[in-house]
Structure 1
């Protein structure tokens, strides 16, 4: 085993060679010359420079691989919604000329990241800082914004850069609200010591060893009121060490938990020791001479007031409302400063956007709604997020997913709801499998996979980097500890068998089977789905892996990470490359970064949007080992994860279009509040509202949830027949358009134009949508259309019957002589667990419509207008599955906006009718009927509503009971 000092020296040498070679490569002005051979030449030159200083040998191949990836990265563009009322533009080149904090941080980052990523960071932080106020501006000002990143995509790096620039600009007090737990606060403190302070904080709050940015510039003598220690948070005791802060001093940094005692101590200290004035109306202590920047990390967690503030008929807030404690203290701190900027950071912004934009109280001042700006950050091209991990939903099903998830179906018996870890259990639960207090086979395989991943990383030259495994099965600490004991026992037995080669045959046979049947083919599949520069290295042989196992097993530790455990992940220890299996709950759920995460075992039962997304510690950057990563989870969680990822992407697209239209955060808030999937799944943060108020303007509701009942299917088919009979002969059979050389054709489809709205309303009144459907509810749709007709819109419609597909079923003759013999196919969801019965009452599909179908009634001129709108709003973002090239076809949203901007179809909706195949596959087998005793088409529909500036909204009661039963309580 390599000694820690030698391992640290080896890592340092590689980092130095890579950084030096990167500078040599950057000096080449002709970027076309930067080829793999050119990079290899510079690596050799850099390695030669260090050859005389050390006896160690650098891994040239690894250095070249790192640099090839860095120089092939690309960054997407951030998108911004802003409200500049009262804001003065101030950030210019001359103001940035002598910025020492940022220069240190930029050089520090360039040593580790590609130029493209650092340039993107520079641009993004400039955009955010410019939307704050000039700290030199006198008088009172208040800016509040939200930065939305992707989970585990580098938000800490972004706000570290923002803090550096804010300090250079003149912000004097910088408060970072860093989660709810000590180890997350400590981790954030250490990251800011490395990126901003330049020194390790000591227990007496002095400056210790120089680190991070200190090696890239002078010591800037920055003050920190908090330390990296577990108990290094701000407190009454700590406050005694600090007196007032004068405007001439270097900035002060406070990294604090969102916890009542901490925030109360900070508020009292600010009011008693720092305040320099008193409010003439309510005698509040005020700080007028020191501008504040508050960064709220994980801003949707704890910061949001979940109490319901009332508003009168004129929209004025109840000033006597008592917010929840954390929200109140954060707002009181802000309210103490006359010059302040608040920036929330999160990957799940929806709770923040539910905050009422006029919410305010006398004691706390305004609520935390991001009224000044919302910025959607893009990620670098090497980021692995939901779109890449879970793929995207199309009418053919989910496509493009990385083959990294593995189903867990042995954690409990669904018949008895008992077993190792059933979805519903209490804090006294004892995990047992087959009557024994031992882990189930799926978790045993997950541990084996982690060991194989560690061994492979060693053989790929990554042994000096951290590797970790996450086990997230329960929120109860006592149950977590039992899981840890069982995993420890498993690892101990493995270590004994592998190192002594005694009684190891069964174990090694299973590990070899995993290697040959899982790891080898998965590597090849990941290579197929990756760009050339990011393809994983070739696999070592099983004999090489086998030889590496004893050393690897000697390094693996099992640790608890939970609300009471002292056992934290110390990634800061020099020369320590951890191989750790972390068992935990809430601390693993938010913010805490698990370095080198390879394997996740995840069976938490929640499917609440923001809770689940934040638990996605498996997203992030996996340079050189993506193919070794595994996500062991339940099949329904994979399905639900894809569902909410699709819903989130839908709202990000909406954001892009609204930004292009120069709308404000308040207007975006109204759109988010009308999105059922993302609002219903977080009822507490919606103020427990059971009535959903929404607008269908610019949306495309579609039926994806259906009754598994032949009578209802017969009724829906009859409703379609009645509509077609009422419309008469179609205007066009087999619509076809040139589309600038790439024709759109619907050979077997029919199109009606200028259909009166009354016929659409009659159809919606006869068609039985499923009561648990989210957006496609017939009565609610009819209510919305009726209200739009009253203001002169949606009076005329286009209707299309889409019969493109190869699905089988009994040929059906619709009214008017329209016959369909082959049908569009949509595969219904089916349980992956063979023990789980098919729901006899309902079934669901993923996506009904193809975006191009929305253009079936648009001529080429209108289609080109829709394409122009789509391109204007489009922003490349690899985390969302975008390639860095302009779209060649319009999006559905672009088409709906074009409808509103074109004179003809401005008030025209589009009803799309789909006669779906009644069989689950192309083969006509009776046992594959989707609906028992029904072999005629299953009628589905979608409606494309043109975007409208009207404020028409409809309200309906949300079936919260259904969602709570289906998806569990919000956590």
Structure 2
């Protein structure tokens, strides 16, 4: 498809969408009605119909009218804030209007309407730029990974400029390619023209094609070239005077660049002195500072001291980038700061009172934190990896392919062992050949490109990510190997010489993997795949046609990496991108289909940011694949569940009018964040953890008989001391009855729980569940009259062998399938059934928890992997209702729940020897609490780096 044909297709889609919006009954929008409107639009301009793929236009419009977007949730503080945004104020906002019209060419009207609502919500939390006096407003926007955060802040910038903000600074990552990519996106969405070093040759693009009036054309300082950042030469020539049009700066988070910008503001823009400190400040130009990837580099990782009253040391020296961001903000008497991130936890660890004399307040989002809801067609962690269930992961799409042929068994040899250095040369068993898993991944990419072409998406970009090492020298070896491999396939297919084996290999992958995967995706998400089933001869022809366009590139941080997509607009760039840290954060790989990912970081935020494969995959989700290791799958599943729970916590807090400070206190003590960067948690030698309001379950367990016997003995000792149980408990649940097979004890004293935990040995890979630490926490809470009375349940009813733990107490052991072939542990996905955690709740409390759960679910369809409303309450709601109560239910912060399970090793599919002892596992549900009590988790620097930092 040519650039012109692609533009014509966009126009047809846009005008047909407008006609359908006027249709009285939108539920009656059918393919035949769409076809009728397409014919009508083409009759208005017959050129638009030349070469038009009407089926592709129809599929796109059906998707647009079937998707939906949830509601953003917010925690806000109105301290020193004046409400100001009214509909009257928004009249004649030309920057936003043209951006909206430009988006409607490419996006569903529902998505654009949701963006309008979302940016209004953010803007009204900022201060009115026309408000007199001094003000400072700081907030954080939390979006899903690869979910459109750039589009959101572009819309915010347009509205802020319309409202009267004059200086707009965007901090765009730490590398030239990301800064350049962001500049290009803002050229299209806000400026309306290409930014170049020479301003005399203006090329109108993007929103400028809709409204290119020079009278509203924003000014730019930085440009899209490799050397387009804020420089000494720019600073020397640039002067800003009060005027109508806003100024845009897109700069890297680089110490030198930010220092240069700060000095220029202080020396050339400031118009007065602060009467108290004599600092030079800007009073006439309101500032909006957008901090993209705000958790990266912006956070002060130095440890700041506070006195007994919580007052900060104002002589503290922040880290370089944090210091300069704060100095820039501190130089304006009217300033708003908005951070954007998908992994906000480092920002929430910022001390709310952190401040210094030179830098002013730290970047804690004291004014607001807003969780952005994604559209229903967003493919996020919960849709890729599903959610944990007793029978394994549930609800995920079948796109993950695990690999284990990249290294030798010892993890130190082979093509790409986890532990390698800059001198490593990748070698497989047969010399420099690629491992079979990477050969398959490349084949999958070639098939994806061919099938997208058949579906009418040949003019769209298609990308493959290979992320296996952070060393540029090793990446160069990989690049050479992959480039040679692709060249070999290209020559064989195009010349049709010695190509039979390659053709058969590709055909087998298509028939054995692609066809069944497409059918599975159509059953789960029919709007994310195409029902068209081409014949192999057409696929082979498309393979031959497309392989000549496939390029193999190293992503090394230059602006050219980002410019390529723009250069190939309308014809589609097909690229295999090989990189490391430059690919790990922020950079968007457009049309990402195949990912081959071996990096082994265990840090929560690093892993989530490396997930470039999340995002929007309209009509080609079934063609996407993630090739990765069993271990990384386990970690991604773990952090997916953790992220979902923390979003649930956020929604519950928003519903009760919580503030950013409340959420900060909650997250700062959350044990799941033991797997994020310890430096960002500002804790040099230890972590202070609270387990209040959390569920802990043992999902990494020992395999050896002596330890299994020790844990079985701990269970026997506990259960024999509890007295007479309630067998097979039942609970009423609004017209239905829940039944458990097992035994229940109520009102159990804390001492029994502490003794059990002191005797039980948890596996070191069970990062959240440390039995000694839990025992200490429970004892400390009991002193405060919390966690003093426990419910204990032994859950049975499985399909395994019968196990008598003590006289009269026996259960059929449960099946929990192993979650990967680990020699050092028996790892499972989920221990508890979701309903088990509510075994102690009466009907009223259970109903209140379900109500809270459904309210949170309706807010964000991106988190609903199967589209069905929850039938049981989620964990955060259960623990909130138990600990804090509600209007109709009393609070029980004194009541914890211990759930014990016996797992059958013979059903685990984990390679246990025949004589392996039964496996005792447990879960603990802690009620919500305001006590703030924490226990200390100690770890030394070397231990932390060995455990969580990337090893390659």
TM over 0.5, yes or no? yes
Where 1:497 maps in the other structure, the secondary structure is: helix
| Aligned with 2:831 (options 830, 841, 848) | 848
Residue 751 of structure 1 contacts residue 799 of structure 1 at CA under 8 Å; is this kept in 2?
Answer: yes
Q: Does 1:889 align with 2:879?
A: no
Instruction: Indicate the residue corresponding to 2:141 in structure 1.
Output: 147
What is the aligned partner in structure 2 of residue 823 from structure 1?
813
- Please tell me whether residue 968 in structure 1 is matched to residue 941 in structure 2: no
1:860 to 843, 865, 883: 843
Q: What per-residue deviation string (whole Å, max 9, x for no partner) do you get for residues 628-671 of structure 1?
A: 11222222112211111111111111111111122221221222
Task: Identify the residue that residue 898 of structure 1 maps to in structure 2.
Answer: 881
Partner of 2:606: 611
Partner residue in 1 for 2:237: 241
Give the match's secondary structure for 2:369: strand
> Whole-Å Cα distance in 2 between the matches of residues 290 and 238 of structure 1?
20
Partner of 1:495: 490
- Contact 1:384–1:621 (Cα < 8 Å) also in 2: yes
Over 3 Å counting, the alpha-carbon distance change for 1:429 and 1:268 in structure 2 is: same
Given that residues 423 and 474 in structure 2 are in contact (C-alpha distance below 8 angstroms), is that contact kept between their aligned partners in structure 1?
yes
1: distance between equivalents of 2:806 and 2:911?
Answer: 21
Q: Which moved more, 1:485-494 or 1:668-677?
A: 668-677
In 2: Cα distance, 1:334 partner to 1:192 partner: 22
CA distance in 2, matches of 1:922, 1:494: 42
1:385 aligns with 2:385: no
Could you tell me which of 802, 806, 811 is aligned with 1:814? 806
Using the alignment, how far apart are the partners of 1:416 and 1:720 within structure 2?
37
Separation in 1, partners of 2:522, 2:474: 39
CA distance in 1, matches of 2:56, 2:75: 42
Match of 1:213 among 197, 207, 213: 207
State the Cα distance separating 1:237 from its structure 2 match: 0.3
Structure 2 CA distance for partners of 1:38 and 1:566, relative to 1, 3 Å: closer
Task: Tell me whether 902-911 or 365-374 shows the greater mean CA deviation.
Answer: 902-911
From the superposition, tell whether residues 879 and 556 of structure 1 become closer, same or farther in structure 2 (CA, over 3 Å): same
Q: Residue 738 of structure 1: which of 732, 737, 742 is its match? A: 732
Q: 1:711–1:909: structure 2 CA closer, same or farther, 3 Å change rule?
A: farther
- Asked if structure 1 preserves the Cα contact closer than 8 Å seen for 2:178 and 2:587, the reply is yes
Alpha-carbon contact 2:396-2:865 (below 8 Å) kept? no
| Runs of 5+ unmatched residues, structure 1 | 1-5, 832-836
Q: Does 1:361 align with 2:356?
A: yes
C-alpha RMSD over aligned residues:
2.2
Q: Is the 8 A contact 1:408 1:633 kept in 2?
A: yes
Alignment TM-score, normalising by the size of structure 2: 0.95
Contact in 1 for aligned 2:139/2:368 (Cα 8 Å): yes
* Contact 1:690/1:958 (8 A) holds in 2: yes
Task: Please say if 1:798 is aligned against 2:784.
Answer: no
1:439 maps to which residue? 434
1:567–1:345: structure 2 CA closer, same or farther, 3 Å change rule?
Answer: closer
Cα distance in structure 2, aligned partners of 1:564 and 1:174: 24
Distance in 2, Cα, partners of 1:431 & 1:866? 53
Taking a change above 3 Å as real, the CA distance of residues 567 and 659 of structure 1, as seen in their structure-2 partners, is closer
Matches within 5 A, 1:229-628: 229-246=225-242, 248-415=243-410, 417-434=412-429, 436-530=431-525, 532-563=526-557, 568-573=562-567, 574-628=569-623
CA distance in 1, matches of 2:276, 2:913: 69
* 2:757 pairs with 1:764: yes
CA distance in 1: counterparts of 2:698 and 2:465, whole angstroms: 37
Deviation at 1:930, TM superposition (A): 4.4
Measured against aligned partners, the alpha-carbon deviations of 1:208-256 in whole angstroms (never above 9, x if no partner) come to 122211233352221111111221111110123321321x321101011
Contact 2:196 2:223 in 1 (8 A): yes
In the other structure, the counterpart of 1:173 is 167
How much has 1:394 moved relative to structure 2? 1.1
Shift of 1:968: 3.5
Find the residue that maps to 1:479 and give its secondary structure: helix
User: Which range is displaced more, 315-324 or 331-340?
Assistant: 315-324
1:849 and 1:424 mapped to 2: Cα distance?
A: 35
The 3-state SS of whatever aligns with 1:701 is strand
Q: How far did residue 733 of structure 1 move?
A: 2.1
Higher mean C-alpha displacement, 23-32 vs 885-894: 885-894
Decide whether aligned partners of structure 1 residues 920 and 304 sit closer, same or farther in structure 2, where only a CA change above 3 A counts.
farther
Counterpart of 2:746 in 1: which secondary structure? strand
User: Could you tell which deviates more after superposition, 160-169 or 873-882?
Assistant: 873-882
1:65 lines up with 2:84 in the alignment: no
**Residues of 1 paired with 2:537 and 2:866: CA distance?**
40
User: Structure 1 CA distance, aligned partners of 2:234 and 2:269?
Assistant: 15
SS of aligned partner of 2:745: strand
CA distance in 1, matches of 2:855, 2:861: 18
Q: CA deviation at 1:207?
A: 6.6
Alpha carbons of structure 1 residues 912 and 625: separation in structure 2 relative to 1, 3 Å: same
Contact 2:225/2:559 (8 A) holds in 1: no
Give the 3 Å change call, closer, same or farther, for CA 830–621 of structure 1 in structure 2: closer
Q: CA deviation at 1:168?
A: 1.0
CA distance in 2, matches of 1:55, 1:354: 56
1:76 corresponds, among 50, 67, 70, to 70
Distance 1:448 1:715, change over 3 A: closer
- What is the deviation of 1:126? 0.8
CA deviations 1:820-876 (Å, max 9, x no partner) are 2x1222223332xxxxx622xx33322221221122222222222322333444443
The answer for the alignment partner of 2:861 in structure 1 is 878
Alpha carbons of structure 1 residues 947 and 888: separation in structure 2 relative to 1, 3 Å: same
Would you say the 8 A contact 1:82–1:663 is kept in 2? yes
Partner of 1:938: 919
Q: CA distance change for structure 1 residues 473 and 650 in 2, over 3 Å: closer, same or farther?
A: same
Distance change (3 Å), C-alpha of 1:905 and 1:721: farther
Q: Secondary structure at the match of 1:727?
A: coil
**Is the aligned partner of 1:226 residue 2:227?**
no
Secondary structure of 1:388's match? helix
Q: 1:916 aligns with which of 869, 884, 902?
A: 902
User: Judging changes above 3 Å, is the alpha-carbon distance between structure 1 residues 717 and 313 closer, same or farther for their aligned structure 2 residues?
Assistant: same
Contact 1:396–1:827 (CA<8 Å) still a contact in 2? yes
Are the equivalent residues in 2 in contact too, given 1:73–1:116 (CA < 8 A)?
Answer: yes
Asked if the contact 2:419–2:951 (Cα under 8 Å) also holds between the matched residues in 1, the reply is no
| Structure 1 match to 2:928 | 947
Residue by residue, what CA displacement relative to the aligned partner does 1:911-941 show, whole Å, maximum 9, x if unpaired?
3332323324189xxxx77477444x42222
| 1:580 Cα deviation from its structure 2 partner | 1.4
Q: What is the TM-score of this pair, normalised by structure 1?
A: 0.94
Partner of 1:3: none
Whether the 8 Å CA contact 1:673–1:679 is kept in 2: the answer is: no
Judge conservation of contact 1:173–1:293 (CA < 8 Å) in 2: yes
Residues 1:564 and 1:182: Cα distance change in structure 2 (over 3 Å)? closer
1-structure distance, mates of 2:465, 2:361: 39
Q: Could you tell me which residue of structure 2 aligns to residue 749 of structure 1? A: 742
Residues 1:706 and 2:705 aligned together: no
How far did 1:714 drift? 2.8
Q: What SS does the aligned partner of 1:514 have?
A: helix
- Separation (CA, whole Å) in 1 of partners of 2:503 and 2:867: 45
